[in-house]
Structure 1
Amino acid sequence: MRNKWMPFIYIFAILLIGAAFIDLPYYVMKPGDAHELKPIVEVAGGDKDAGTLMLTTIKMGEANYLSYALAKVRDYEEIIPIEEVRSPHENNEEYNIRQQYLMQNSQQNAIIVAFDAAKKPYSFRYEGVYVLNVFPGMPAEGVLKAGDRIVAIDGKEFKSSQMFTDYIQTKKPGEKVTITFMRNQEKMEKRIALKQFKGNQEKTGIGIGLADQKKLISKPKVTLKAEDIGGPSAGLMFSLEIYNQLVKEDVAKGRKIAGTGTIAPDGTVGRIGGIAQKVVAADRAGAEIFLAPDDKISPELKKQVPGIVSNYEEAVRTAKDIGTKMKIVPVHTFDEALNYLLTRK
């Protein structure tokens, strides 16, 4: 009897293994971890207090048949269409690099906000144009890669990506330019012919998505060890930890504080994705307080996404659903979050 069923068992095992390796046009998002910030953020000569500030993460990966099926039955695992995660023409490698860039930019914003609050000096050094992605069928394809840093065109250095774009627009389709760029700390140089963008006959280029690359120089120096974390959502918590090390007072007052939210240079806290999953992660880590962006939902967005609520409202729902004692605190700005932590026991 056992021999009779063995072929079917083998076939089922092969199908199960295959299902784990066949990607679908979806991503699966699930709770990640709450990371203590003291080992990640280091301010030279800064104070390390008894309290704990934590950033929260989600786990996001391309779906296969197995992970898709599991996400359907597990709590706080969401299935997201790939077009809601990745930009058009963006592959998975480019998506990951964009997330790294967003994290780097978030870290710089966090330093700006914390140093402004602590009245400490900083400055910037422009380092070139950061390549976020390369458009298929355009001249840069096969020459440049996401993550490259363009430092000069035809030997000319620029102080902004806009100046770079303006210079390219002075050229005609078919003309060649010399691109000088850095890749993995190696300086490279290539000649590229310009081409008109499909669907926009007035625009000429090499076909890249780009952003400014600036290095922030601060006194004291700030080092952030967050290579494995992508995206901008840790901005608020980074800024609080940096500020906490710059001043003598313990911002957390001995408590375990978790949270999330983007941070703008002016201290505004912005909406993030995966708030429910981050509340779950914070609760698992034993956080006492969770800082959540209290973003305003515009009428236009409500029409586009019926039922959408602010991060704070969703965080409160999730906290109630999982029965946590963790307090959910709404924040609009860095100053508001800091004031809450300093004035509440």
Structure 2
Amino acid sequence: MSLTPPQPDHDPWIGFEPSVSRRYVTVVVAAVTTILLTIVAFMLPVPYATLQPGPVFDTLGEFNGEPMLAVEGGVATYPTDGALDFTTVSVTGPDGKVGFSEALLAYFDSDVRVVPKDFLYPEGETAEESDAQSAAQLASSKDNSTVAALRALGYEVPEQVEIGEVAEDGASVDLLESGDVVVAVDGSAVATPQQAVEAVSAVTPGDVVTLSVERDGAPQDVAITTKPAADDPEVPRIGVSLASRFDLPVQIDNNVGDSVGGPSAGTMFALAIYDLLTPGSLTGGRRIAGTGEISPDGVVGPIGGVRQKMAGANADGAEVFLVPADNCAEAEDGDDFGMTLVKITDLDDAIASLETLAEDPDAKVPSCS
């Protein structure tokens, strides 16, 4: 009789290899899944836009092979030197996509700003609509800068109020036409769009206002029943956009093309026009850069992307950067790139500061610090 050795209740090795395999597979699958999800996250667009330094353009130089600013009519111009650069920002368009990785890298780049896309564009705005608005702002900037420069030079530049667009569902449809010149509202003369807006705003929605206009040189009175504003029923509207028409004593051709847009080059345009029409040089031979929207009266307004414009100016070798007063806090929030940051509130400020620095680069002028 043979005896069979007692068998253990279970084999200690049974299931060991499968257990190791399952754990290994689980780890691998988790790692691959994490990697794939990370790749997908980095590839997917996020609802943000980036503002990055854009190119700079010398307003005293050429644009696409021709002078950026040309004075017509035999008016005397004077040689100058140095540069008066207007600065730009490269912005993600309304139809553009920013990936997660791009947004993440931009977040850690001090020269790039990341903002929610709806901070820049109304919901549903297309690239074509954005481009059209930007082109209209540039056209207005050209006009305003010319008027501001000529007025700083002592020229009289008469202004009139012109009807721009007439809303199809507005109070003025079939009554006013684009190009009509508004002379008075309810018998009170108006010379600027703001005066016209204030005169209309003085009535109650539903009241009738009478606009005295000139159409093709012929005067006529037009009675319009106001409507309440869509966003405020207490505010009267006549359903038109208004613009300024100027009678320029000197014709300035601004040859900036459609590759740039917006209103922020106005101050630098005005300075260049002033420099061309006066003896001497505003720059003192140095490269001056800057930004700022400008009104026909020469008031300099704030703009967006000042940090990105400073970075672009620095990359182009600017020594002085003109900053609208309301942008000074933002301009100081980071590296000044070794540039002198000159604070400006109007065109006269900018001219005075540049004239002072042209004589003495170390002179004290209004600054952001």
Common topology (TM > 0.5):
yes
What RMSD, in angstroms, separates the aligned Cα atoms of the two structures?
3.9
Question: Which residue in 2 is equivalent to 1:298?
Answer: none
Superposition map of 1:28-43 within 5 A: 28-38=50-60, 39=62, 40-43=68-71
**1:234 lines up with 2:265 in the alignment:** yes
Structure 1 residue 213, shift from structure 2 partner: 3.4
Superposition map of 1:1-345 within 5 A: 19=44, 24-38=46-60, 39=62, 40-44=68-72, 45=75, 46-62=77-93, 63-66=96-99, 67-87=102-122, 90-124=125-159, 128-130=163-165, 153-154=174-175, 157=180, 159=182, 211-226=241-256, 227-295=258-326, 311-320=327-336, 324-344=337-357, 345=360
> How has the CA–CA distance of structure 1 residues 330 and 73 changed in structure 2, closer, same or farther, with 3 Å as cutoff?
same
Is the 1:58–1:277 contact (alpha carbons within 8 Å) kept by the matching residues of 2? yes
> How has the CA–CA distance of structure 1 residues 205 and 316 changed in structure 2, closer, same or farther, with 3 Å as cutoff?
closer
Query: What letter corresponds to residue 277 of structure 2 in structure 1?
Result: L
For structure 1, the 5+ residue unaligned runs are 1-10, 141-150, 172-194, 296-310
Q: 2-side partners of 1:158 and 1:218: how far apart?
A: 16
Larger radius of gyration: 2
Tell me, what secondary structure is at the counterpart of 2:328? helix
Query: What letter corresponds to residue 316 of structure 2 in structure 1?
Result: A
Is the 1:128–1:152 contact (alpha carbons within 8 Å) kept by the matching residues of 2? no
Structure 1 residue 326, shift from structure 2 partner: 1.9
Is the 2:293–2:300 contact (alpha carbons within 8 Å) kept by the matching residues of 1? yes
> How has the CA–CA distance of structure 1 residues 222 and 198 changed in structure 2, closer, same or farther, with 3 Å as cutoff?
closer
Q: 2-side partners of 1:317 and 1:72: how far apart?
A: 15
Q: 1-side partners of 2:331 and 2:162: how far apart?
A: 39
Structure 1 residue 15, shift from structure 2 partner: 6.8
Query: TM-score, normalising length from structure 2?
Result: 0.62
> How has the CA–CA distance of structure 1 residues 265 and 65 changed in structure 2, closer, same or farther, with 3 Å as cutoff?
closer
> How has the CA–CA distance of structure 1 residues 219 and 196 changed in structure 2, closer, same or farther, with 3 Å as cutoff?
closer
Tell me, what secondary structure is at the counterpart of 1:243? helix
Q: 2-side partners of 1:199 and 1:139: how far apart?
A: 15
Question: Which residue in 1 is equivalent to 2:23?
Answer: none
Q: 2-side partners of 1:201 and 1:332: how far apart?
A: 35
Q: 2-side partners of 1:203 and 1:313: how far apart?
A: 35
Is the 1:152–1:158 contact (alpha carbons within 8 Å) kept by the matching residues of 2? no
Query: What letter corresponds to residue 52 of structure 2 in structure 1?
Result: K
Q: Which deviations, in whole Å up to 9, do the C-alpha atoms of 1:21-45 show, x marking residues without a partner?
A: x5x4322111112210022222234
> How has the CA–CA distance of structure 1 residues 65 and 239 changed in structure 2, closer, same or farther, with 3 Å as cutoff?
closer
> How has the CA–CA distance of structure 1 residues 205 and 266 changed in structure 2, closer, same or farther, with 3 Å as cutoff?
closer
For structure 2, the 5+ residue unaligned runs are 1-35, 63-67, 183-192, 208-226, 361-369
